[in-house]
């Protein structure tokens, strides 16, 4: 799912959610996505555009039955939108994350009773399955 924010006929923000899968595959099907990227033009940042894109995207994913949403990002920002640390909940990132950045690997439960019932390594689509996207 991809969404844009438009102001005065100019795209000022964009968010993309891509399907991921878990390995090993859980005994019951789990629908999950990863948020990457989220971008807002610098001159339009700090006006809530990114927050609105996240909210709309998560609502649409939830409505479509997606159960989990992951992101590798600033915990202080994404925690305001309901994301919590994924590693301590049993979710391994596609590529190893340095210990000092482990809090940046985060997840949000979009359907009840999913967290705690599944775990595993998140496998991204080939487009995002590149180590350069996972190293800071």
pLDDT, tens digit (0-9, with 9 covering 90-100), for 7-19: 999 999 999 999 9
**pLDDT at residue 131, as a whole number:** 82
83-117: burial string, b at 16+ Cβ within 10 Å, e else:
beebbeeebbbbbebeeeebbbbbbbbbeeebbee
pTM above 0.85, yes or no: yes
Please write the tens of the pLDDT for every residue from 78-111. Answer: 999 999 999 999 999 999 999 999 999 999 999 9
48, containing H or E segment: none
Instruction: Quick: pLDDT tens for 63-83.
Output: 999 999 999 999 999 999 999
């Amino acid at each position: 799912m991809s969404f844009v924010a438009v102001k005065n006929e100019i795209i000022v923000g964009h968010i993309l959610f891509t399907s991921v899968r878990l390995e090993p595959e859980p005994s019951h099907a789990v629908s999950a996505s990863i948020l990457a990227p989220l971008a807002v033009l610098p001159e339009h940042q700090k006006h809530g555009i990114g927050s609105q894109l996240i909210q709309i995207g998560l609502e649409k994913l939830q409505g479509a039955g997606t159960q989990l949403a992951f992101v590798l990002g600033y915990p202080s920002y994404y925690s305001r939108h309901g994301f919590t640390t994924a590693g301590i909940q049993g979710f391994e990132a596609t590529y190893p994350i340095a210990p000092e950045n482990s809090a940046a690997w985060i997840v949000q439960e979009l359907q009840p009773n999913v967290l705690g019932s599944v775990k595993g390594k998140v496998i991204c689509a080939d487009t995002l399955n590149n180590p350069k996207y996972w190293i800071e």
